[in-house]
Structure formats: C-alpha cells, structure tokens
Chain A
Amino acid sequence: MSLLNTKFKYFTLFIIVTATLITSCSKDEVKVVTAQDEVSALQPVDTITKGNYSFYIFKKDTGDFVVGYNEVYIQVKNNATGKYVEDANLSWKPLMHMTSMSHACPYSAISKVANTNTLYKGYFIFIMASNSSEYWEIAYNYVNGNDTIAKVSNQVTVAASTGKVRYKSFKGADNISYFLALVEPSKPQVGTNDVKAYLYKKVDMLTFSPVENYTIQIDPRMPDMDNHTSPNNVNLTYDSFTQSYQGKVNLTMTGYWKINLIVQDASNTVLKGEAITGTTTASSIYFELEF
C-alpha cells in the first residue's frame, strides 16, 4: 500500500512538472507575435511614408471605403530603427474637398487595439461618396506632447453604398442634421443579436459630435412575410463608455430584414421615423440586414 502511495506521489509530481513545462513553453510562443501577425487578418489599404515614418492603413474587408461606417486600422513604423511604434499618440482628420466647399464627417479618436502591441484603430462615418472631381482626404498626425513627429495625408476613394442600408442621414424635427450608422450585427444570426450604432449630429461643416441620451426604437420586419416581426427586441440606448447606442434585435429566421427606426431625443420627442401600423408598412428611416 505504501509503495502504491509513493508511486502515486511520483506520478503527481511528474504531472505537475510536465504541466508547468508545457504552460511555460506555450507562454513563450504567445510572446513571439510579430507586427505582421497582428494585421494578418486585415486587408492593406495604403502605405504612406514621410521622413522616418511609415503609416500602414488597413481595414477588415477588401474594396473601397463606403458611405457609412468604416473601421480603420493603423500601424506606424520607425524606418530608422525598423521597429513599429507601440506607444504612438495618433490623431486624424477627414476632409471632403468639394468643388465649391469642404466638409468633414463623423469620426472617432484613434485608440490602441486591445491585446496588441502595434495596432491602432478608429472609424469614419463617411457621409458622401467621392467622385472624379470631389475627393476625401485623411490627414494622420503622430505627436509627442506638443511636437509633431510625423504628419501624412492621403486621398481615399469612398464609394456609394450599394449593399443593404446600414447608414442613414436625416434632418430631425429639430432641424438638426443627424447621421446614423449601424456597426453590429456585422454577421447577423438567427436568435438574439447585439445591436450597436453611432448617432452623430452636425455642429458645423467641420464639426460632428456624438449625440447623447437619445433613444432609437427598433422594429425588425420581414416585408416578404406579411411584415412579420419578432418580440422582445430592446431599443437602442446611449452607452457613454463607447459613445454608441446599444440594444438587441431578435431575428426569427434567415433572409431579408428591415429594421425600422424611430429616433427620439432625450425628452422622448420623435425626431424622425414612423411606427409600423396596418397602413404604414415601413419607417422613413431603417437599416437592412440579410443573411
């Protein structure tokens, strides 16, 4: 019996040692993530080099930027050292050069992507498409305190959105221009989906600010199925941490869904959108999902 106990002790020790070795090995492997690994799932959009620095611009899908929500990823490389900058303080500014005037669009600050060393991200909500004589220009700025380390800019093509409607601009009952863009669900599924959207208003031609504490009512419908809808949807409310609107939409089957919207201000005054009734089959503002 004691022999058995001794054997058991050795066996346990063996297991512990082996387990420790395996875990430490795998930890080592995790550490060797290169800058290239961090963007391996992304599509390169552009590389802009000026002085000692190169800006690498990526996004998740191929093709041009589109009118509406665009997520942009950035890496900055110091060409003198050959290393990617891990603590860059980055900012940007989009500007539409129209033939008669220029304007900006809603956009976020740039922040580090969690659990990466070299990757930064932000988004634009482009509000119009570019064309042969009118173009979007994005200026990137890398600063250290008051010193500008690098400043680059490039022109981008923004295509009109041809797919399902995920962006709407409208003039509210308060006569303010609003810009509403759907972020999630990016891959809708049958069942309950988290919804995330951004709502901005125009302050002036160059200033767009997130709107706080409004409510966006959602009413998902299937026009093909006698305007079938689902129960227990959760209207979008403002989340100050992400400065976005969040809620839940229930999809009872695959196919084409129209998410009818009503935007209400903080005092519940309807600014835009209509409730669905027997005669009103769709709201004037909506998103579309198809999967």
Chain B
Amino acid sequence: MNKRILYAGIGLFSLQFAYSQQKTDSVRNLCLKEVIIIGKTGLGSKNEPKPMSSVDEYMEQQDRINLIKRGSYAWEPTINNMASERTSVTIDGMKIFCACTDCMDPVSSYVEVINLNKMHIASGIGGNPYATNSIGGSLDMKLYKAGFHKENVSASVNSGYETNGHYRILGGSLAYSNPSFYSNSGVFVRKSDDYRAGGGEEVQFSQFQKVNLMSNFGLRLSGNRAVEASVIYDVATNVGYPALTMDVKSAKGLITSLSFTKEELSPVFSKWETKLYFNTITHIMDDTKRPNVAMHMDMPGKSKTAGFYSTLQGRKTRHNFLLNLDSYYNQSLAEMTMYSKNPDEKPMFMYTWPDVRTLNTSLFAEDKYQFTARKFLQVSARLAVQHDRIRSDFGLSTLQIYYPGMSRFQNRLLWNVAAKYHYYLKNIQVKVGGGYGLRAPSSSEAYGFYLFNSFDNYDYLGNPQLKNESSWEGNLAFSATLGKLNVSLEGSCFYLNNYIIGKPDNSLTHMTLNASGVKVYRNLDHATILTSDLTVKQSFADYFIWTNKASYSLGRDDHNRALPLIAPVSYSSSLSFNRKQVYAELKLQGAAKQYKYSADYGEDQTPAYLIFGASAGYDFHLKTYNPKLKVGVENLFDRKYSTYSDWNNISRKGRNYYINLIINLL
C-alpha cells in the first residue's frame, strides 16, 4: 500500500487523476487499490528494477495476478486464479476480445509498456466501471497520454538486451504538450530467439518478435471541453508456443478511439467523458515450422469490436458518484481447415467460432459515501443486457448437430452489486467488502466447436444451454503500520454457483489426433475459490527496505475436488537499497510443491522451486540527457523449473542477464 501511495504521489499525468486528487485528496490516494505505474512516470523510476519488462512481467509482479504461460510471449493474466472468461481486461475502458480460440493472444499482448501509463487492477466484482462479465476481477490498462501542460517537448530512447534468448528491445517516443494541445507517439520493437531453460537446454519454438506503434492526440476546446484520439497498431510475428503443437504466424491488433470530455459541467457534475472505439484483431496460426506434423492445419481467427462508453462523474455533499453507460458489439470468428495426408482428399473445414455476434449494453453506477475523513462506503451496481447471434449458417448447422433445434439467438440479463467499507485508523487500515454478480458464458464456452486444449488433451465443445455463472464474494483487507514495519493481509473468497467448466462426455468422439476425448462445458452446482496475500515490509537503516510476500489460494469444485490452475503456496523476499541515484535489489522467489493439483481436470503436480535474482540501477545526471541504467540477473543459479501455470510444464528461463538503458533526449 505504501508503495502505491508513493507512486500516486510521484505525480500522474492524466487530467482525470490530477483532478480527482485535488478534490478528494488523501482519501482518493488511499482508495487506489492496485495501480501499477508503467508509463512515463514509472518508466525508469528508481524503484523499478527492469523498466523495459514486458507488460506481462509487470503484471506478474502484482499480488492478485498470475500468468498462464504457453511460451515466452503473450501470457494470459489470471486475477484471483480466474482467467479470461471470468475477468475483464480493457484498454482505457475499451473492450477488446482475443481472436484466438485458445487465448494465445490475451488483450494485454496487443499493447506495450510505452503505450501505458498505469494499470488499474480491481479484485472481484466492482471497482471498475468498464468491466463486463467479470466476477474474478478486472484490469484496465490506462494509455499514456502526454496531456495538456505548459509547453514541453520530450523524447526518449529506450533499449534493453537480455542474454538468454538474445532478446533485443528498442523503443523511442516523442511527446509534445501545450495547454491546449498534446501529441505523443512511439515505436517499440522486441525480438527474441529461443530461450534456454535452467541447465542450458534450449526451449525450441520460444522465439518471437513484435512491433508496436502508437499515437495519441488531444485538443482542448473552449468551455472545459477536450477531444482526444488514440491509435495503437501492434504486430507480433513468428511467435513460438513451445507448450502447444503450433505457433503463430501473425497476431495483429489495431486499436482506435476517439473521446470527448467536458469538465466542470456544474457544481455537481465534474467530468463527462464519452468515447467511441473500434478495434480489430487478427490471429493466424502456423504449424509449418514444426517437425512431424500429423496433419497440417490453417487456423485463422478474427475479433472485431466497436463500442462506446459515456462516463459521468460528480460529487454532492458526502457523495462521490460515477455513472457509466457502456455498449459494445463484437464479432468473433475462427475457422479451421485441416489437410489430409492423402492429397486426393478434400480439405476438412469447420468454424471453431461460428461468427458469433455479441451486443452487450450495460449501465453502471457507483457511489462513494464518506462518513468521515477516515471512513467511507463504496457501493456499485451494474445491469447489462447481452444479445448473442450466430451469424454463420454453416456454424449454426454444426452446433445444431449437438443441440438439435438450438436457436440462432440468445439473450441474457446480467447484473452485479458490490459494496466495500473502508476504515482508516491512524496506523491501521481495514477494508471489508462483498458482492454478488453474474457472468455470461464466453464465446468459447457457449459456441466453441472442437477447441483442442493441450493442457488436458481434450477437445472442447461449447454449450449454448449454459446458465449464467454467479458468484458471491467476500473480501477483507487489513494493514497495520508499526514504526517502520508494515504488515498487510488481504483475502477474497468466492462462492460460485453454476460454475462453468469442461466435463468429459463419453458419448462424443474427439477429433484432434490422439486426443483423450471430448469435454463439454457444463455448469457445476458450485465451486469455491479463495485467495489470500500477506505482505510484511520493513524499512531500516534509512536506505533499505525488506519486503516479504506469501500467498495462499484454494479452489474446490462441488465434490470438494481441486479446481485446475489454482496457485500453490508461493512466496518472495526482496531486500532493496535506494539512495539518491543508486538502486539495488536482491530477490528470492519460490513456490511450494503443488499439493492440491487437479488430476480430475487434467493437471499434474508441479514441484517446488526457488530462484534468486539481483539487480542494480544508476541514474546519471548529465547536462542534457539523464540516462538511466539498469542491470540485473534473473534465475541466478540457473535452476530448471516450471510453475503451476506453465502450460504443459514448459521450463521457465534459465539464468538471464539483462541491461536496460533509457535516455531522455529532450
């Protein structure tokens, strides 16, 4: 918490934020839950050991976030041990949906660190006006915008190199601001060869490269109005997925938005922002580089989303409220063409996502009622209507084989409510909250057609007859500061009804060669998920901070069997030194043996591991530029290990030395 407050104090660029800080001052700071600062302010800050980390690596450092890894690129974030179906990942409030049926391209893979200013993480229901269909938590990645300031031009070159995988990173950004106009643009390139696991073994097909281009513009008009536009174009090519049987030829994302903001509308309404957005994602798989491919396949997928939101913020007496009207229209289409070894036979074609069109419109309201300066209650509610349509007759016909008479259309009413009480004593902070919410099944869960999951070796069939999944949530956070010691404990508990998960259906035969069978998504009567984190932080001798973290999670189905992809006990300890321009850190990180693995859901036991790392940084103060240099080593003792969320137990990186250099030119 301290760190977060510190970050918030460093000074944030976004108007909205600077504004709200002024208004509500300390309370606002305290109610910032999880904010990862990435953009200009955070980039290269003294406390950041590896500023050129990928977005994935930034996310990985957060308490509630774990990442499912299928290679060294495009990790899928889970919040509270819940993956994409149960969480929401948005970019500046914009809905974006991956174009790969296997989620090899999570939304976070289409942005880069230079695109972002911060990430807003909300655990569980509530806390994010832009999160739809989310019960596990949400992640809103805020774009970095130069903002309206006194005239200023800045440019920087960011570079990095890592020995393991010969990983090269180069980026540049240019920003211009004045009180009525701003523009910032950047380009970022990453390229890595295959990395080596601990012990030196090369992990084949773990290479990747990506190029990211971004541009933002803002124009301030009279009467406290502003127009802002942003474009991100992100292309990853030749991305290896060592945990899977095929790679990705290209993953392209074009993310655009145009927003209108009016501030100080009246004494009550402080800000009204309306944004229109459109994004298109194309994902093309590739098995041509693999040896011994049993059957060559083409698997392109695309996802297009158009939408808008309109957010009104205000305050009256002790109320601090926010209303958001939100609507999006998504097209998800994925196809598969399989080529027989017999060249005389015609190719086998099917839709794995039958051109699913989703129209979701929701209304969200939140109020923070302040009892006193140290006590406030935050309540929120959302009501959403979701209309699904299967556009492809071909796709509908195939699903109707399994669900005779199934309709092309589907309507779902979704809602959630959440409340959290915040109480701050002098040295103690307590937050108690709860909520209830529903989510609709994802496209794959409702309409996916023979999606092969290499994790449990089953083909998955969607089920349009699924009920909405619901979740009761309770959460508690406690933090105490005793002198230079800070102890914080956070926990969330979810009781999910109609929990959606794939169950084997022995009446169906698989399609993928050598698959174990077919699983159909079903509603379990209930499931329970619990997550908890303990952080103990001790400052001493002026310049040292010793941080210890441990987390414990539990997931159970309705027969008290373990759920898959639930983190084992994990821990970390770091000792950092920070004095003037010098920064240094020693860190150890590990996990216990995964005792509660889920054999029933195709999981195997992951052994314990412990790895060590060290890093150091120095901020030079030269006349014109202020280069920041960071060096470090990860997995110092070259341990061969994998974590519970490494798909098919692929090994993580072995020893890796890195260097990051940031030069501010202007």
Binding site for B on A (CB under 8 A): 189-192, 222, 224-232, 250-256, 290-291
Contacts and interface: CB of A to CB of B under 8 A. Distances in A.
B340 A224 contact: yes
A192 B345 CA distance: 22
Nearest to A224: B340
B342 A228 contact: no
B349 A254 contact: yes
A255 B349 CA distance: 7
A224 B295 contact: yes
B394 A190 contact: yes
A227 B450 CA distance: 14
Contact of B401 (A192, A254, A256, A291): A192
6 contacts: A191-B397, A191-B400, A192-B400, A192-B404, A226-B515, A230-B401
Contacts of B342: 224, 256
Interface of B: 295, 338, 340-342, 345-350, 394, 396-398, 400-402, 404, 449-450, 507-515
Given A190-B394, A232-B404, A225 B345 contact: no
Contact of B507 (A225, A227, A231): A231
A26 B450 CA distance: 49
Contacts of A228: 509-511
Given A190-B350, A224-B340, A256-B340, A250 B401 contact: yes
Contact of B509 (A190, A191, A229, A251): A229
A229 B511 CA distance: 8
A194 to B, nearest CB: 13
A225 B397 contact: no
B510 A226 contact: yes
Contacts of B340: 224, 255-256
B509 A290 contact: no
Contacts of A290: 345-346
Nearest to B511: A228
Nearest to A255: B348
A228 B450 CA distance: 11
Contacts of B507: 231
Contacts of B341: 224
Contact of A222 (B347, B348, B397, B404): B348
A225 B347 CA distance: 12
Contacts of B449: 252
Contacts of A224: 295, 338, 340-342, 345, 348
Contacts of A254: 346-350
B514 A191 contact: no
A189 B340 CA distance: 19
Nearest to B350: A253
A253 B395 CA distance: 10
A256 B343 CA distance: 12
7 shortest interchain CB distances as A-B pairs? A191-B397, A255-B348, A253-B350, A250-B401, A228-B511, A254-B349, A224-B340
B349 A231 contact: no
Contact of A255 (B347, B400, B402): B347
Contact of A190 (B338, B397, B450, B510): B397
A252 B401 contact: yes
Contacts of B394: 190-191
A230 B507 CA distance: 9
A290 B340 CA distance: 12
B350 A226 contact: no
Given A192-B397, A231-B402, A256-B340, A225 B508 contact: no
A253 B341 CA distance: 17
B632 to A, nearest CB: 48
A20 B404 CA distance: 42
A189 B401 CA distance: 12
A83 B342 CA distance: 53
A192 B515 CA distance: 25
B400 A252 contact: no
B254 to A, nearest CB: 31
Nearest to B513: A226
A231 B508 contact: yes
Contacts of B511: 222, 225-226, 228, 252
Given A224-B341, A226-B510, A252-B511, A191 B398 contact: yes
Contacts of B400: 191-192
